[in-house]
């Protein structure tokens, strides 16, 4: 198999790293707590995802079906990451968004599944949220696949 069809196949199944429109590379977090403070602040499920880069089971988050107008904020530090206008139903079982608020997330390449993926974190606290793929809708073509437990939803006033 040549490189081009292989990379096309990876993109088709959502495993190729997102390169266009990607957020800046992860830098130092500006909202920091000790491990003990994070454990006190977060539920065990939130801690596992946000601080240990875990993944919740697909279909487990009520935020996947959230349809009201509002903002999705980081469950760790409450930084707004997405608006409801950026959300779409990807059919994956996780809340998905085609874009982020400016400066809200930072990315880095993740090799945990052997093949490279683009992982994204909250730009303020460094909490892990999910991965971004090149199989989303227009206008960006991106799918920010987010762990629902890493988010809180704030209904618009």
The band of 22, judged by pLDDT with boundaries at 50, 70 and 90, is: very low
% of the chain exceeding 70 in pLDDT: 82
List the chain domain ranges.
3-155
For 149, the 3-state DSSP assignment is helix
Per-residue pLDDT, 28: 66
Give me the mean pLDDT over the 14-18 stretch: 47
Active site residue 74: no
Distance CA 130, CA 119 (A): 6
For the stretch 35-61, pLDDT in tens is: 999 999 999 999 999 999 999 999 999
* Catalytic pick among 74, 77, 125, 145: 145
When pLDDT is cut at 50, 70 and 90, the band that residue 25 belongs to is low
Scored b (16 or more CB within 10 A) or e, 104-135 reads bbbbeebeeeeeebbbbbbbbbbbbbbbbbbb
Which one is predicted more confidently, 30 or 143?
143
Domain 3-155 sits in CATH at 2.170.150.20
Which helix H or strand E contains 97, and what residues bound it?
A: strand 96-97
User: Is 90 exceeded by the pLDDT of residue 5?
Assistant: no
């Amino acid at each position: 198999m040549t490189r081009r069809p292989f990379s096309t196949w990876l993109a088709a199944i959502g495993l190729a790293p997102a390169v266009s429109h990607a957020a800046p590379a992860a830098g130092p977090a500006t909202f920091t707590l000790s491990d003990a403070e994070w454990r006190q602040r977060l539920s065990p499920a939130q801690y596992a995802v946000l601080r240990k880069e875990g993944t919740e089971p697909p279909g487990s988050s009520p935020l996947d079906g959230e349809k009201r107008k509002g903002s999705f904020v980081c469950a760790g530090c409450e930084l707004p990451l997405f608006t409801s206008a950026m959300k779409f139903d990807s059919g994956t079982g996780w809340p998905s968004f085609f874009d982020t608020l400016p400066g809200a997330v930072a990315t880095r390449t993740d090799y945990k599944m052997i093949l490279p993926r683009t992982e994204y974190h909250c730009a303020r606290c460094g909490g892990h949220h999910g991965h971004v793929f090149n199989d989303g809708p227009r206008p960006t073509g991106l799918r920010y696949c987010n762990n629902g437990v890493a988010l809180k939803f704030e209904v618009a006033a």
